């Protein structure tokens, strides 16, 4: 949430940011409610002073008639004050509700535009260990996809032919687009989760196992609510929602707390199943295991002091890149444009891996700096070394998302006999096995 002071003092900047984001945030409504609130505050303070002055005059009055008149006058002021205070509470509630609908301000380095205007900042290939920084960054629309490789199949063919993925029975049980992972396909999914968590533990993160159901207030805190209620699943008749990402419960771990500077930065990693009411388009988007109502993901969440979050963002991107590189995948890091940022983000990097069979880039990680936007909504605070209490800065990144990672592994490392060569990093998590074996 943006502070009302920022909106009041930087109104033109906020208005431009809304336009650049393509947002319909109710800025004028916020300003009008703030103006009414400030006027009511003046009235309330004036009436409170009048009430207090009347109390002093009543205590000093010697004449009974005069004293009674003062009492009646004080009662009238108190009645008016009660009404004004009730009106103030209503306006404050209205203002708070409107503020929740204003997105974060993009960082000046975020490119203007939509999805095609994102810029590539890093490219690499885990198969040979190569990596190069793209400086200056290049718009994604200006870069051609890698050339098609003869004989490559998409993962939905590889997975079905080898018996790793069972779409038919998944659809029978739960409807499209659900599926079963079977045999070595299921084992690889489990191995990847365990390995990723261990990678992040080695990077300095504390592992946590979060609830997969959270209260509505938690989703308000991280910015999914109230705007995106139609993209999530709610347990009917309760205040509980299925998590769209582990970011939600982990970020809210410290809500309404004041952390001491000695514990910062705080780094947490968590696995969760994620549940999202995706809107599916026709064609290739619905094929395979790239999108679904349920998927697995390992998440990284950081809490920092206010001056440390931009350096932390660079490190967080590096932590996610380490994972995709170790899996022997071709990848790129792109900085999203203003129109493609999430509601709460000030800057976001997506990490995409190349799927050579489907001939497309798949996003497997999204890494964002939220500054104090989430902290204001969730009341996440710390005490600085000067003793002042400030809002934390929060960051998060996928570390990384499945099953798109699984899809890219199948398409990149499949062998002619249908087996899939395993990256060296995950082999210890599969008992030293060197390849996935088809189910015959």
Active-site amino acid positions: 276, 291, 363, 366, 404
The burial of 81, by beta-carbon neighbours within 10 Å (0-12 exposed, 13-18 middle, 19 or more buried), is given as: middle
Q: In which region does residue 359 sit, left (phi positive, over 0), alpha (psi from -120 to 50) or beta (all else)?
A: left
Cβ–Cβ under 8 Å, residues 226 and 100: yes
How many other β-carbons are positioned within 10 Å of the β-carbon of residue 244?
Answer: 21
Gap between the Cα atoms of 357 and 237, Å rounded = 44
d(CA 67, CA 337): 69
Report the b/e string of 348-386 with b at 16+ CB within 10 A. bbbbbbbbbbbbebbebbbbbbbbbbbbbbbbbbbeeee
CA distance 181 to 167: 9
Angle 353-354-355 from CA coordinates, rounded to 5°? 120
| Pairing outcome for strands 330-335 and 347-355 | antiparallel
User: Among candidates 165, 201, 199, which has minimal Cα distance to 183?
Assistant: 165
Collapsed DSSP state (helix, strand, coil) of residue 255: coil
Cβ–Cβ < 8 Å for 420, 434: no
CA 420/CA 430 separation, integer angstroms:
13
Nearest-5° Cα angle at 194, 188 to 198: 135
Report whether 294 contacts 371 (CB < 8 A). Answer: no
Contact (Cβ atoms closer than 8 angstroms) between residue 436 and residue 406 = no
């Amino acid at each position: 949430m943006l502070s009302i002071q920022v909106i009041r003092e930087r109104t033109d900047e906020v208005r431009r940011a809304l336009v650049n984001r393509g947002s319909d945030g109710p800025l004028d409504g916020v300003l009008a409610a703030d103006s009414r609130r400030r006027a009511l505050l003046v009235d309330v303070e004036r009436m409170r002073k009048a009430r207090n002055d009347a109390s002093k005059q009543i205590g000093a009055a010697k004449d009974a008639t005069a004293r009674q008149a003062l009492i009646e006058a004080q009662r009238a002021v108190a009645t008016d004050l009660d009404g004004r205070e009730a009106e103030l509470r209503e306006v404050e509630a209205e203002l708070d509700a409107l503020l929740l609908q204003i997105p974060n301000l993009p960082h000046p380095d975020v490119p203007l535009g939509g999805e095609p205007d994102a810029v590539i900042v890093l490219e690499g290939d885990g198969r040979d260990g190569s990596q190069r920084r793209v400086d200056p960054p290049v718009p994604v629309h200006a870069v051609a996809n890698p050339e098609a490789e003869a004989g490559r199949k998409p993962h939905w063919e590889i997975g079905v032919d080898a018996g790793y993925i069972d779409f038919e029975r998944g659809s029978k049980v739960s409807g499209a687009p659900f599926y079963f992972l079977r045999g070595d396909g299921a084992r690889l999914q489990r191995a990847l989760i365990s390995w990723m968590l261990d990678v992040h533990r080695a990077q300095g993160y504390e592992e946590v196992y979060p609830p997969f159901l959270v209260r509505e207030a938690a989703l308000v805190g991280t910015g999914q609510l109230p705007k995106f209620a139609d993209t999530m699943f709610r347990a009917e008749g309760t205040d509980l929602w299925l998590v769209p990402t582990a970011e939600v419960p982990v970020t809210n771990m410290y809500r309404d707390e004041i952390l001491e500077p000695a514990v910062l930065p705080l780094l947490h990693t968590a696995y969760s199943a994620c549940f999202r009411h995706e809107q599916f388009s026709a064609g290739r988007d619905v094929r395979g295991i790239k999108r679904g109502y349920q998927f697995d993901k390992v998440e990284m969440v950081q809490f920092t002091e206010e001056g440390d979050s931009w350096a932390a963002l660079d490190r967080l991107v590096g932590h996610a890149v380490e994972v995709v590189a170790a899996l022997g995948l071709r990848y790129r890091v792109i900085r999203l444009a203003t129109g493609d940022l999430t509601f709460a983000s000030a800057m976001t990097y997506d990490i995409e891996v190349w799927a050579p069979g489907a001939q497309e880039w798949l996003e497997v990680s999204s890494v964002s700096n939220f500054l104090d936007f989430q902290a204001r909504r969730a009341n996440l605070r710390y005490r600085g070394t000067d003793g002042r209490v400030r809002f934390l800065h929060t960051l998060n990144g996928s570390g990384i998302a499945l099953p798109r990672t699984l899809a890219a592994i199948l398409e990149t490392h499949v062998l002619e006999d249908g087996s899939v060569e395993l990256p060296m990093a995950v082999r210890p998590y599969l008992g030293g096995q060197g390849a996935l074996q088809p189910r015959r």
